[in-house]
Amino acid sequence: MKASNFFIILGLLMWAMTVNSQSLNVAPAHLVCDYDVPEKLDSQVRAKLQRALTRYGISSEIGVSRFAMVPSVAINDERTTATAPVFCDIDFDFVISLQDAYSGKVFASFTKQTTGRGANKENSIAKGISALRLETPDFIRFCEDAKGKVLDYYESQMESIIARAKQAVGQRDYQEAIFILAEVPEDCPSYNSRILPLMMQYYAQERDLYAEKILAEARAAWAASPNERGAAQVAEILANMPPSCSSSAAAKQFVSQITTKVEAINRWERNYLDREQAFRHDERKATIAAAKAVAVAYANSQPRYITKVYLWR
């Protein structure tokens, strides 16, 4: 893990103590339409869908979920008026589908019939979609059904997911293991008993592995320059040390050996202790947030193997 990732993680720790984020995450996809739609309309559909899903308990922020909400337009009829100016009338279905982003399999769908009139086909579709409202009982039922489908899927795949995570751990790839586990929503019945303990364990192992590398780098810097410049380098390197890791005691002992030479080390030591205290204030929530941040950072660094659904980045 890069040092910058740990800065992001540490910044999330206090946030995790005060924000109750929604645990079920479904990634938004681009609008599917037979006609080329403007980028602005695609963005408006995304925003409309995100607001509605969030309102009914489904987070649409892009993360590590293999599920996607795919909006699409199915044209039923189109007519051109014999007037001046000429207008284009289009009758179409606005469809939102819960899909497996990898296979394209549809688990649930919601259809809203609508019409639009505009100067051309694209403009007519845009006006029809703009007039749509998703705050309806039918859409609420769709969201509830979608949530149930997602949770049922993960429960059925629990053994396979855990096996893949353990395989990654066997290769000391803790980030991939966290990425695999972080896909499972916290609302799953087995999450607290089966997923959370492994996620916290693998995050601790990933953090310890990273900390060992940081400490080794600091020792090498001091060995190469056991002077004021070397001490300053040590302070800069150890500033990236994650809190509450297996190398914490060794790092403190190492710092104590050179604190008399540079005041910067003393300042680092105070900051380090402050970070440890903040982390321990609510370690469980902080660890979950930090582990998921690792998963998201890992996911964003990987090539996309999406073959059926075009997701927003």
**pLDDT per residue over 250-272, tens digit each?**
888 888 777 766 665 566 666 66
For residue 243, which phi and psi values (nearest 5 degrees)?
-75, 160
Q: What is the mean pLDDT of residues 201-220?
A: 90
Q: How far apart are CA 138 and CA 113, in angstroms?
A: 13
Residue 144 CA to its chain's centroid (Å): 22
What angle (nearest 5°) sits at the alpha carbon of residue 11, between those of residues 10 and 17?
Answer: 90
Q: Residue 19: what pLDDT?
A: 32
Q: What is the mean pLDDT of residues 130-134?
A: 87
Buried b (16+ CB within 10 A) or exposed e, 128-158: bbeebebeeeebeebbeebbeebbebbeeeb
Highest mean pLDDT among 9-13, 213-217, 224-228: 213-217
The domain locations on the chain are 24-135, 177-301
What CATH architecture applies to the domain 24-135? 2-Layer Sandwich (3.30)
Percent with pLDDT over 90 in the chain: 24
Q: How far apart are CA 65 and CA 49, in angstroms?
A: 17
Token pair 């090498």 in the structure block, residue: 220
Is 179 a residue whose pLDDT tops 70?
yes
What angle (nearest 5°) sits at the alpha carbon of residue 233, between those of residues 231 and 236?
Answer: 115
Is 26 a residue whose pLDDT tops 70?
yes
308 pLDDT band (50/70/90 cuts)?
A: low
Distances, alpha carbon 292 to alpha carbons 23, 167, 184, 278, 283, in Å = 11, 19, 11, 19, 14
77 pLDDT band (50/70/90 cuts)?
A: very high
pTM of the predicted protein model: 0.65
Please name which of 68, 135, 125, 132 lies closest in space to residue 97, comparing C-alpha atoms.
68
Q: How far apart are CA 177 and CA 170, in angstroms?
A: 10
**C-alpha atoms less than 13 angstroms from C-alpha of 175 in its C-beta half-sphere:** 15
Helix (H) or strand (E) holding 12: helix 3-18
**C-alpha atoms less than 13 angstroms from C-alpha of 68 in its C-beta half-sphere:** 24
Q: How far apart are CA 110 and CA 24, in angstroms?
A: 19
Q: What is the mean pLDDT of residues 130-152?
A: 89
Q: How far apart are CA 81 and CA 180, in angstroms?
A: 54
Q: How far apart are CA 18 and CA 198, in angstroms?
A: 24
Q: Residue 197: what pLDDT?
A: 93
Q: Residue 111: what pLDDT?
A: 94
Please name which of 298, 243, 304, 300 lies closest in space to residue 272, comparing C-alpha atoms.
243
Token pair 């001490």 in the structure block, residue: 231
